[in-house]
């Protein structure tokens, strides 16, 4: 989700119009307001009114749902350039928080009404993000429902690596966040990582840093 380019599907939903400008991470109107969020600060909560759309500028954002007893599922991590918070209904069905320090732009949803008519680009970006999110969710359901712990970790690492376009990267999220994203416990995440390291597929110079050493072997593991 590094760059957002129009797909046939999204394009077809709107009248054809010349695109005006793009910025490499998806076009957005200039009307957004930027805000910094502290580590673990809530951007919106489950049940909040869906008044805005958001885009990550710096840092990482997680969206999550909770069960009544506190069990948590992190639906996705959003990296710089990613849009999030687009939903059906007038209430958010999941919450979003900053993972570490993050900078986020928000766009008033009601500002869209006129936009869709005059400035197609933002509307297209929204539908784009929606379809992207759905595609990701489909993949993630396969991971959650059918993959083993090691396969989950391998898939996760390759996914991050691909989105960052780096074979060596810093994990912005804690083991707890990874566990809640992959449907595991922190202990299993930890054990799986060391297991991959022992096999020589990855290196872990520090707890948060990951280097992919054998991508083909990892790719083998994703199924």
Partner DNA sequence: CGGGCCGTTGACTCTTGTCAATCGCGGTGG
Partner DNA sequence: CCACCGCGATTGACAAGAGTCAACGGCCCG
Q: Does 184 bind DNA (CB under 7 A)?
A: yes
Query: Measured from the CB atom, is 119 or 197 closer to DNA?
Result: 197
Question: Cα 64 vs. chain centroid, distance in angstroms?
Answer: 11
Q: Does 62 bind DNA (CB under 7 A)?
A: no
SS3 164: helix
81 and 20 in contact (C-beta within 8 Å)? no
Q: Does 185 bind DNA (CB under 7 A)?
A: yes
Dihedral over alpha carbons 43, 131, 218, 163 (to 10 degrees): -60
**132 binds, options DNA, a copy of itself, none, Cβ within 5 to 8 A by partner type:** a copy of itself
Stretch that binds DNA, among 52-60, 106-114, 127-135, 185-193 (CB under 7 A): 185-193
The secondary structure of 67-79 as a DSSP string is -TTS-EEEEEEE-
**CA 173 to CA 194: how far, in whole Å?**
17
Q: Which of 88, 198, 205, 216 binds a copy of itself (CB under 8 A)?
A: 88
Question: Cβ of residue 38: shortest distance to a copy of itself, in angstroms?
Answer: 25
SS3 100: strand
Q: Does 3 bind DNA (CB under 7 A)?
A: no
Binding site for DNA (CB under 7 A): 148-150, 174-176, 183-191, 193-194, 204, 206-208
């Amino acid at each position: 989700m590094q760059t957002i380019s129009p797909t046939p599907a999204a394009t077809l939903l709107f009248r054809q119009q010349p695109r005006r400008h793009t910025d490499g991470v998806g076009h957005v109107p200039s009307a957004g307001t930027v805000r910094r969020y502290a580590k673990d600060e809530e951007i919106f909560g489950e049940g909040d009114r869906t008044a805005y759309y958001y885009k990550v500028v710096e840092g990482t954002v997680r969206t999550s749902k909770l069960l009544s007893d506190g069990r948590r599922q992190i639906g996705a991590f959003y990296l710089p350039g990613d849009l999030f918070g687009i939903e059906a209904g007038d209430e958010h069905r999941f919450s979003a928080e900053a993972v570490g320090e993050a900078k986020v732009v928000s766009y008033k949803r009601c500002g869209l009404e006129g936009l869709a008519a005059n400035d197609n680009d933002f509307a297209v970006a929204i539908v784009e993000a929606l379809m992207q999110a759905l595609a990701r969710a489909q993949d993630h359901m396969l991971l959650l429902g059918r993959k083993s712990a090691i396969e989950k970790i391998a898939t996760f690492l390759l996914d991050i690596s691909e989105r960052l376009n780096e074979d060596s990267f810093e994990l912005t999220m804690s083991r707890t966040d990874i566990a809640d994203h992959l449907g595991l416990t922190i202990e299993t995440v930890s054990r799986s990582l060391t297991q991959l390291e022992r096999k020589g597929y990855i290196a872990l110079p520090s707890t948060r840093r990951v280097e992919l050493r054998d991508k083909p072997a990892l790719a083998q593991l994703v199924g």
